[in-house]
Structure 1
Amino acid sequence: MKLKKLLAATSLGLAAFSASATPLDALVGNLNIKLVGLTTETNTQAGTNESTWGLGAITQIQGTGGASWSAGLSDGSYLYYMIYGIADQNIVQNGSNFDIYNIGASGGVADNKIHLDIYRTNTPIAALDSNFDAAPSGRTGYAMHSLLSSLGPAYLTVTFGTGKQLVNVANSCTGLEPYVCDASADETQATLVQQVTNTNLPADGKGSFFADVTGGTSATQWNTNGLFGHDFDGKFTLSTNGASQGSGTCTDVEVTTGVCFTGLINDPIRANKIPEPGTLAIFGLGLAGLAGLRRRRQA
């Protein structure tokens, strides 16, 4: 085999690790995932104690060595998600703010877990990633919204896990009227922790969580348990989704009346991803070509 052909084979193996416009399937290692999202307390699932749910988009994923995937630009694909099954466990007043400890919803179709389902598509959904004017009324079931219903099987299904809340504060927060927390609750079992300015949306603040991959078409590549025994480590900010706040096309009235989603979430989560089998095979072909070249030169 000529040197040009060997180098071409090698370049195929290394192309997946290009420092610019990296395809989603080629991202590997430690990743920083930029997301945007919308949350609401409207149209929660009947028969459950679900308090909040939402929709959103993953806009960019950055990796080591300059690898970067951008929605729609790197390989023509987009990632959208639905988060659902969030229930309040305890709300504790903390000065002028509130600490909200969330767990998975129960009752009806709920299964005591907070879910995050991610879908992959080649079609952009402006209502989720630029206009932020999706309607809560489009929810068609516990795990589905009309904007996502045509996207096929989930790219990833994820559930939230414990670990972010290390101290149980239930026994030290009594007497904080009217937000008396449940002394029998154990906040270390919370799978989503928020520090916000209000107990209900709209609110400003921040939150954090761990999450684990449970299924999806690309579960094998993302299920690594590389972050304190979890697959994702998330931290986000929460603000009002209104035009007066410089976000979205919804009016403040549409936000407060539930025509549009009320909360706007932002900021990154972290993950670790291994190469998908096809990428490994191509990379291995390139390395095999180099090995053959070296043996021929030594012969």
Structure 2
Amino acid sequence: MLIKKWMAAASLGLAALSASATPLDALTGNVNIKLQGLTTENNTWAGTNETTWGIGSISQITATGGQVWNMGASDGTYLYYMIYGIADLNTVQNATGTFDLYNVGATGGLGDGRIHLDIYRTTTNILELTSDFNAQVGDRTGYNMHSLLQGLGPAYLQLEFGEGKQLANVAGGTDPTADETISTLVQNTTSATLPAAGTGQFFADVIGGTAANQWNTNGLFGHDMDGKFTLSTNGASQGSGVCTDEEVTGPNPTCFTGFINDPIRAIRAVPEPGSLALIGLGLVGLAGLRRRVGN
């Protein structure tokens, strides 16, 4: 009878757990990551050929088995990112009037020829990146840093974009001799420059960060993450952000011009040590129960 009662209670407990929020450290298996953020072609880093950079937040991560992490609500933590070092390799206008953009990492100065995405974890809700979307372009403090992200380090994850999305060369464009197969970010947009609407795709590989061991799985076509995104114009009249149109698209914009919305796929390998400890305590309790039942 005791066994039956325990099994019923365990079933109810598991059902409640699956319907509840999942702490970030407990996520495992295939996951979908929802990024939102802001991009700009202003205040690019001097001495490099960088053309675009941005900042933003991760609003939700869902995983197999009903696991859901929501920023702030699931475990009191938030994830923020900075993407930087994007440089144009070739821009081609196609027959439909849209533009195909092939990007690689910026070089010169601090640019190392890689597109970077650095993610930070904190308990602070930065409204400029989670709801207001009114971060200031001029507050960039370094090639890999913005004032809103200062003090949040060390990075939770450091990623670099990898090749593989563009499988063939194309003709024409701003550089007809370019080898588009080496591009690490591929986009199709309504304009060659911001403000624009469109889509893009990339692969990303973990190269560092405090949680690198859990995310460095190479499980998606030999990469750690497979990203796709949509791009629209930031600003109140576009339904995103609280910046005015003048602040976004004026001759000297103070707000970020582009608004991005990214679903990214990844595989998270194992829980971190803290979560493993909790699982261990649960197994100890189960063993104790088994001994009592046996007696």
Q: TM-score, normalised by structure 2?
A: 0.90
Q: Which residue of 2 aligns with 1:62?
A: 62
Q: CA deviation at 1:166?
A: 1.2
- The structural deviation recorded for 1:183 is 3.1
Q: Which protein has greater RCO, CA pairs closer than 8 Å, 6+ apart?
A: 1
* Secondary structure in structure 2 of the residue aligned to 1:287: helix
Distance in 1 separating the partners of 2:260 and 2:128: 14
Q: Using the alignment, how far apart are the partners of 1:280 and 1:18 within structure 2?
A: 18
Q: Distance in 1 between matches of 2:259 and 2:68?
A: 24
In the TM superposition, what is the alpha-carbon distance from 1:19 to its structure 2 partner? 3.5
Q: Deviations over 1:10-39 (max 9, x none)?
A: 99xx89x74421111111111111111100
Residue 238 of structure 1: aligned partner: 231
The letter for the 2-side match of 1:37 is G
The amino acid of 2:140's aligned partner reads: R
CA deviation vs aligned residue, 1:108-128 (integer Å, no higher than 9, x gap): 011000000001111111111
Partner of 1:20: 20
Structure 1 residue 282: Cα displacement: 2.5
Q: How far, CA to CA, are the matches of 1:102 and 1:28 in structure 2?
A: 32
Question: Which residue does 1:89 correspond to in 2?
Answer: 89
Q: What RMSD, in angstroms, separates the aligned Cα atoms of the two structures?
A: 2.4
Give the Cα separation in 2 of the matches to 1:77 and 1:108. 34
Identify the residue that residue 152 of structure 1 maps to in structure 2: 153
Is the 8 Å Cα contact of residues 38 and 132 (structure 1) preserved in structure 2?
Answer: yes
Query: Does the 8 Å contact 1:19/1:65 carry over to 2?
Result: no
Aligned to 1:189: 182
- Deviations 1:104-151 (CA, angstroms, capped at 9, x unpaired): 000001100000000111111111111111111000110000010121
Q: Is the counterpart of residue 209 in structure 1 residue 202 in structure 2?
A: yes
Cα separation, 2, equivalents of 1:84 and 1:130: 22
Aligned to 1:177: none
Q: In structure 2, how many angstroms separate the alpha carbons of the residues matched to 1:203 and 1:182?
A: 21
Residue 48 of structure 2 corresponds to residue 48 of structure 1: yes
1:276 corresponds to 2:267: no
2:286 paired with 1:290: yes
Choose 17-26 or 136-145, whichever is displaced more: 17-26
Deviations 1:212-271 (A, max 9, x none): 111111111111111111111100000000111111111111101321000000031111
Deviation at 1:182, TM superposition (A): 2.2
Letter in 2 for 1:26: A
Partner of 1:266: 261
Structure 1, gaps ≥5 residues long: 175-179
Per-residue Cα deviation, 1:57-89 (whole angstroms, up to 9, x for no partner) = 000111111111111111111111000000000
Q: Which residue of 1 aligns with 2:142?
A: 141
Q: SS of 1:182's equivalent?
A: coil
Number of residue pairs matched by the alignment: 285
Runs of 4+ in 1 over 2 A off after TM superposition: 180-184, 284-299
Calculate the TM-score normalised by the size of structure 1.
0.89
Distance 2:58 2:153 in 1: 17
Unaligned runs of 5+ in 2: none
Looking at structure 1, the residues matched to 207 and 197 of structure 2 have their Cα atoms a distance apart, in angstroms, of 30
Aligned residue for 2:264, secondary structure, equals strand
Give the Cα–Cα distance (whole angstroms) in 2 for the partners of residues 295 and 164 of structure 1.
55
How far has the Cα of 1:296 moved from its partner?
A: 6.8
Q: For 1:157 and 1:33, how far apart are their aligned partners in 2? A: 15
**2:231 matches 1:228:** no
Residue identity matched to 1:159: E
Give the superposition deviation at 1:289.
4.2
